[in-house]
A and B are shown apart, each in its own frame.
Chain A
Amino acid sequence: MQNHILNYLYRTAARLPDKTAYADDACALTFGEVLRRTRSIGSFLHGAGVYKQPVAVFMRKSPMEITAFLGVIAGGDFYVPLDEEMPDSRIQLILENVRTPILLCDAATAEKARGFDLKGARVVLYDDIIATPADDAALDAIHRAAIDTDPIYIVFTSGSTGIPKGVAACHRSVMDYIEQLSEVLAFGEDTVFGNQAPLYFDACLKDVYSTLKFGATTWLIPQRLFSFPIALVEYLNAHKVNTICWVVSALTMVSALGTFKTVKPQYLRTVAFGSEVFPIKQFRLWREAVPGAAFTNLYGPTEGTGMCCYYRADHDFADDDVIPIGRPFANREVLLLKPDGTLAENGEEGEICIRGTAVTLGYYNDPERTAQAFVQNPLNTAYPELIYRTGDIGRRNAAGELIFVSRRDHQIKHMGHRIELGEIEANVNMVEDVSMAACVYDKARQKIVLYYVGALDERALTTALKAKLPRYMLPNRCVRMERLPLTANGKIDRVTLKNMAEAK
């Protein structure tokens, strides 16, 4: 039985040492080279005495960054991806949470890294350690000592208090995910992935680890191409990309702008999408443009290790239909729990809760918030069994397929990103001269609208927020007000604000 994620790499590198594993416009690494770098980085960490610790990787998205992740695992540690796209204050909060001994950087990020309060962490340059001679005996001992419930990464997700939450996942959860996902999406050695997902989210697990398992190839698509649809499709064709697992907003950007009138993807056979609702009109344009491809809707929270449910969208839908989220992958169960802790039945709504190996280890260094979301299965009083409560409300249709209904709280999905409106508000309230703030989401126009009271004008506020919030969390519109509407019991009246936003 497999108990270590790097076994994928060891087996594939022995079989296909000269095949390209990961590539972008600047560089391509073969499986043999990925293995060599992985073992060098692992040996460096061993030599530095870093074992069973979080290691932050702060690099530009590249094939090299992936080898840094794998090298951290080879050293018996777990990686914490940081990215230039993250605002400084968020990176600082992450560093304070994880207390990493080492910040692994490249030439492009090292200077910025040294500007943080590193809490004792040492900045190490990737290029300086990839020639470290492999310490085979040490690496083999680390590998043998590993247990499949040891963490391999921590990725951070939005938290409503303004402090992001670090989701830690182990070997076993990731391997289980890759096994089940690849069976449903029929990945194989001839799969050529076109990666869109940032490497600092669990969304990239699909491309990164399936490539290792099967000896496939992943092209990391330059981010700017996602603004220029014809060049993007030409890129897919030039690299014979046959498999894409993208957020819906990336897919709709291509179809909605009329790209298929000029150019169509020629090699695509697998299109997986998720993280938000695919508008039927856009889904139809894709099916017409790529009639030979299989389309699959995916659903799942980071806390359930990547995706949890799938639905094969193999037929047309009515304009006002919603594509179901379908069924859980094998080896995990979705419980629809009503507020009283019993199961929802016959089309009743309930909270989507996940049971099984896919449930991650919890929020790193955060027992309180972990205990709120990772709870004892209320249907099991006989032995300890944690389930993850997603906060998503769902129901089953007549065919037994899961349908996403709504959120229990103020979490939204915007451009494929999971965002707590509370986190935006918390950061706005930290800006000097702002006395009150509330965010609403105008779903039809896909805009985050911020209403605030304060001495700053919109321009100054936006400038201040850019230092605090990731790009995708910045309000799309800021509206300064004399005062915010309040409900009878004195709370901010979000319903009125939402109506205002939608009426504009």
Chain B
Amino acid sequence: MEELLHILNELHPDIDFTTQEHLIDDMILDSFDIVTLIAEIGDTFDVTITADKIVPENFNSAKALYALIQEMEDEA
């Protein structure tokens, strides 16, 4: 989780990602952020987030995103 928060904070140092749960609905993460996140998560966690997992529910909070990463790690 720490590593994920670090990636998120690099993108938006002014956002508290431990509490935010509407990253997509509140338009905090945009298209560029999503693409960057997927690349950085791929590098850091050695998982590939496939297109079918790129849905708002998985990106609205750091918690949801971390759950997705764990799910992908389990499948790998």
Contact = CB atoms under 8 A, between A and B. Distances in A.
A463 B29 CA distance: 15
B10 A230 contact: no
B55 A228 contact: yes
Contacts of A472: 32
B24 A227 contact: yes
B31 A227 contact: yes
B13 A462 contact: yes
Given A257-B51, A257-B54, A259-B51, A227 B34 contact: yes
B35 A228 contact: no
A142 interface: no
Interface string B46-67: 0001111011100100000000
Interface residues of B, number: 24
Interface string A431-463: 000000000000000000000000000111011
B75 interface: no
B51 A258 contact: yes
Given A227-B30, A231-B55, A261-B51, A458 B24 contact: no
B4 interface: no
B28 to A, nearest CB: 11
A482 B14 CA distance: 22
A256 B12 contact: no
A250 interface: yes
Interface string B11-49: 111100000000010010111111110100000000001
A413 to B, nearest CB: 14
B6 to A, nearest CB: 13
A228 B56 contact: yes
Given A227-B34, A258-B50, A262-B51, A459 B29 contact: no
Contact of B51 (A230, A459, A471): A230
Contacts of B54: 227-230, 257
Interface of A: 224, 226-231, 249-250, 253, 256-259, 261-262, 415, 458-460, 462-463, 466, 471-472, 476-478
30 contacts: A224-B24, A226-B31, A227-B24, A227-B31, A227-B33, A227-B34, A228-B34, A228-B55, A228-B56, A230-B54, A253-B31, A256-B35, A257-B35, A257-B38, A257-B49, A257-B50, A257-B51, A258-B50, A258-B51, A259-B51, A262-B52, A459-B13, A459-B14, A460-B14, A462-B14, A463-B14, A472-B32, A476-B11, A476-B36, A477-B10
The 4 closest A-B pairs by CB, nearest first: A459-B13, A463-B14, A226-B31, A259-B51
Given A228-B54, A249-B32, 9 more contacts: A227-B29, A227-B56, A228-B55, A229-B51, A231-B55, A257-B50, A261-B50, A261-B51, A459-B14
